[in-house]
Structure 1
Amino acid sequence: MKKLTFILLILVISTVCYAEIRLGALFSTTGPASFLGMPEKQTLEMLVEEANSNGGINGEKIELFLYDTRGIDAEARKKFIRLVKKDRVDAVIGPTRSGSTLAIKELAGRFEMPLISCASSDRIIEPINPFVFKVAPSDTLAVRKIYSYLKGKGQKRVAIITAQNGYGDSGRTALLNEAKKMGINIVADEKFRDNDRDMTSQLTKIAEADPDAIICWGVGPAPAIVAKNYKQLQLDATLFMSHGVASKKFIKLAGSAAEGIILPAGRLLVAEKLPDSNRFKSMLLEYKNAYEKRFDSSVSTFGGHAYDAFQIFKKAYNNSVEKNIKITEAIENIKGYLGTYGEFNFSQHDHNGLDMNAFIMLKIQNGDWQLLNK
């Protein structure tokens, strides 16, 4: 009997010593959205390694289960189910793309699996799913930032050209809805597909409407083609992009056509240029320097999404253990977290936690990001 008790005690001690957190992740590390998903993957792996070297969370090491969705919605569903049923993870970070997140939103609720998406579509959190959160700022906030900037310049005639995918559709809806509220006149409304190789036709139609500004909403290589065609046509209207191109990869793809483009983005891209008094600066530089030293490549706001998602998960998991509450409830209780995209204040009714101050306006000049005053 004593021997059996001893064996059981050893098993209990072993279980405690080797307790682990099982964290799932879905990123587009190959395919057209790989330049978004790869920095997310690299960031998350770096942070998990760092956390484990410091004892994990509450003494529990983190085991990471990370899969490539290839930017395909069906693949995201397949891998999400695998994370839930086979890997039995505690939570999932990702996916990279809005469409892929929307494809698994219902599954997260069905399996009661906490999901912290890195995508931006408003529809990810509207309507609220108790198990679904996101760290990328909503499209509506980005649109408001652009429109406020335009109104400050006295420009109200706007043409839009949006991608025919989850991100583009959500952006188009926000562009149209916010225009009515903010006194912006949409004079042209064109679309493009991710695999289009020429947008001259759409831009020619836009030119006929004589807009003050053109707003392109998309991710991947297609917006770079829009920029090139815009330059070839020598259009007078100012070209704006969404936060979906806030990466040096876009500047590389667009080449000289990127010059002069304006977009809303997070502070991470211009961390060194922020005043020392900025409350985000030290955190941004710490992450930026660590990432660029580790991977020998420029930091991007998309890697920042993974940074925020992990830090939020870490805080929530720690609080869920201490207060004996669900991870989702713990996320809803997070207030005042300073992330790469701004200050997060979650609630039962707000599963994004950001406001318009998450964005600053940037201009591409000499192949780099320049901070605008407004």
Structure 2
Amino acid sequence: MSRLRAGTLLHNDAGTPYVVERLLSEGGFGQTYFGHRLTPSGRPGREVAIKVCRSLDDWHGEAYFGRLLAGDERVVDLLDVFVDATGRGSRQRRRHVLVFEYMADGTVWDAVEDGGLVWSEAKVRREIRALLSVLQRMHAVWLLHRDIKPDNVFLRDGRLVLGDFGISKLVLDTSPSPVSRLQGDFAPGNVTAGSVWGPHDDIYQVGLLAGTLLSGEVWWNQSVSIGSIAALECSDAFKSWIWHATGAKSKRYLDAFDAVHALSALRQIDMRPGRPPRSLRGQCIVFSGRLEDLPRTEATARARKAGARVQSRVTDSTTVVVTGSMRAGGVGAAEGIKLFGVRERIRTGQPIVLIDQQQFERLARRR
């Protein structure tokens, strides 16, 4: 696919001309150029981004999704769709063209490379929620984006705007998605292993984006670790959200609706020790953190003697979690991975009571 020269004119179905001025990007999708829509007098009018698609499927798909999401301020505005034809017969050349608003502020990737992107937790949460609202519209009608990476998320006046729907597709089509088309560096392990892309995988990419916005460094799938999340300057609650968004498939938020609910619930879930049960008898207990002057083996023995069943990890049957102090190297300031899981279970309705060491010792003495 040869590049267009500066000054090349492309005409839509109504004859409106667009002039190509310079190449912006090039890849498997085709080429994107900076240009202008010309006025009736032939003068440059609105600045635009002109995308010439290599694949007819990409052109059809992105045109469809652009029209579907038209008017959403968090989506790059699709201004025009047409086929530009030149020549006749066997010499005819057809170019499948999409015209978008030109995003002068660039992408998240551009901002990271310029060193000017480290946002506060409050701003990241607000902007991620706005982006998820777009995904809610898509997931509600069984559409997946599949390519939410920093160079496809644009900035407009300091706000996130989603673009590039070239590989979006209907989730009803369950054929495997080639990894080469899914930017493997930003795809979760379950996809790079050959699975089918699902709504939870869109959320994985949003989780990576949240890490990028907080850290000022591009997060890839290899960036996610206890250490990288621990290093983020944000609350334990938001670290927990990012941990689940970028976690294993079984722990990830189901779709945009689930992710928004979890984001909204961050301040509603109280992870402080609360009102203890009357007795430990019949309770399923998990210990989290370090207990002062009380070895875990001794605490376990006391709990069992009081009639409790002690579990090594949080399960569907867990009813009480005894919280101690954070161990060195933990992911959060006051919460570790185990409490992140407790937080998520409480959000989804599991009745778990948090108690501290003093409350536990008092209950353990009861018969």
TM range (shorter): under 0.3
TM-score normalized with structure 2 length: 0.23
Structure of higher RCO (CA pairs closer than 8 Å, 6+ residues apart): 1
Q: Which protein shows a greater Rg?
A: 2
